[in-house]
Amino acid sequence: MLTEPAFIKVENLSKIYGLRKFHALDNINLQINKGEVFGLIGPNGAGKTTLMGCLLGLLKPSTGSVLINGKSVYDMSVKDITGFVPERPHFDAWMIVENFLHYHHMLANQPESKAKEDVAEALADVGLQPEVGKRLIRKLSRGMLQRLGLAQLIVGKPDLCFLDEPTSGMDPLGMALVKDLLVRWKKEGKTVVINSHHLDQVEKVCDRVAFIEGGKIRSIEELTPTLQTKQIFVVRWGHPFPIYETVSEVAQNNMIEFELMEDHGRFWLSSRSIGTKLLQELMAKDVQVEEAMYERKDLVELFKKDPSADKAGSDVRNRRKNGDNAE
């Protein structure tokens, strides 16, 4: 059976900055399929934005290549289908909002006859009132500028969207709007590459995420329901503190990864029903449970703690298992 070639193909991509030879990206290999919503996550300075710059053809790779739909990122037919929401909404401050959107409508080679209609539609899509269209860009708040960034992407009607921290500086309503737009674009079959710290919203719409750290892709994960719902269950107990073997036996019986401290344990659960079972079994073994709660972590944290994603995370847990919990 023939498989469809990757829509975005990144091969051996490296980016080195300046005379000090700072490796922002180090031998990145990545494939993104058509219609996929792909997340880039990782700590600050990991290289996520640089990778996006290379995918957009705005930064030149030091080595390696980026192909979109089999063509170079510098090909105008690729730019024709591309939209970009920058992290820094430093748009041309002297322009009026409507003019700015009209300008980008023209730059995106959209038909002039539909300009007015498309601009009004884009403003409505991002929740900006028509009156805002008459205002100068320099008079807009940070949240409004962020919405304007989304609007300029929408007027270009792209098939491939790059979003760099689209929820940065937005209020909760704005964040919900971004999520709704992502859901809509996913339904419309657009390919979306998103770089965001607010992954609690974004993770629900991403098909896959790449965890980037130190300019390298540490892992790429499909956001299966298991990973999306993976949570940390914290159980605190009183005196007498349970011995390691008791907790270990219960956890291993339920195939649960755990981390044991003197007065509490942290358990990595794939579903909440396992948490109930775990509690019941611990109490059956005379563990004096005082408190139990879910500690919701963002995707970055889960990636760091997931043994398949981060060997170091496993090492920490193994160290705990080997009796260091008495420290």
Residues that bind another protein (CB under 8 A): 17, 24, 49-50, 53, 56-60, 76-77, 79-80, 82-84, 86-88, 90-95, 99, 103-104, 106-109, 138, 152, 156, 162
Minimum CB–partner distance for residue 157 and another protein (Å): 12
Q: What is the DSSP letter of 132?
A: G
Contact indicator for 217, 11 with CB cutoff of 8 Å = no
Q: What are the φ/ψ torsions at residue 167 (nearest 5 degrees)?
A: -100, 0
Closest CA to 147 of 118, 117, 171: 171
* E-state strands within the chain: 8-17, 22-32, 37-41, 63-68, 71-72, 82-85, 160-164, 191-195, 208-213, 216-222, 231-237, 257-260, 264-269, 289-295
Q: Nearer Cβ to another protein, position 93 or 283?
A: 93
Residue with Cβ nearer another protein (17 or 294) = 17
CA distance 66 to 68: 7
Closest separation in Å from C-beta 238 to another protein: 51
CB of 175: closest distance to another protein in angstroms?
A: 22
Report, in Å, the least distance between residue 107 CB and another protein.
4
Nearer of residues 96 and 274 to another protein, judged by Cβ? 96
Name residue 269's beta-bridge partners: 231
CB-nearer residue toward another protein: 72 or 318: 72
- Minimal distance, residue 68 CB to another protein, in Å: 12
Nearest distance from residue 31's CB to another protein, in Å? 22
Please name which of 180, 9, 169, 171 lies closest in space to residue 89, comparing C-alpha atoms: 169
Nearest to 30 by CA among 190, 227, 212, 223: 212
Q: Which is nearer to another protein, 137 or 199 (CB)?
A: 137
146 in Cβ contact with 196 (< 8 Å): no
> In the chain, count of helices (H) and strands (E)?
12, 14
Q: Which is nearer to another protein, 39 or 61 (CB)?
A: 61
Minimum CB distance to another protein smaller for 117 or for 286: 117
Nearer to another protein, 45 or 238 (CB): 45
The CB-of-277 to another protein minimum distance in angstroms stands at 48
Q: How far is the CB of 128 from another protein (least distance, A)?
A: 18
Give bridge partners of residue 195 from the DSSP assignment. 40, 164
State the helix-helix crossing angle for 97-107 and 115-125, rounded to 10 degrees.
120
Distance CA 297, CA 31 (A): 27
> Which C-beta is closer to another protein: that of 42 or that of 275?
42
Please, what is the minimum distance in Å from the beta carbon of residue 52 to another protein?
9
Report the sign of the C-alpha dihedral through residues 108, 111, 116, 121, in that order: negative
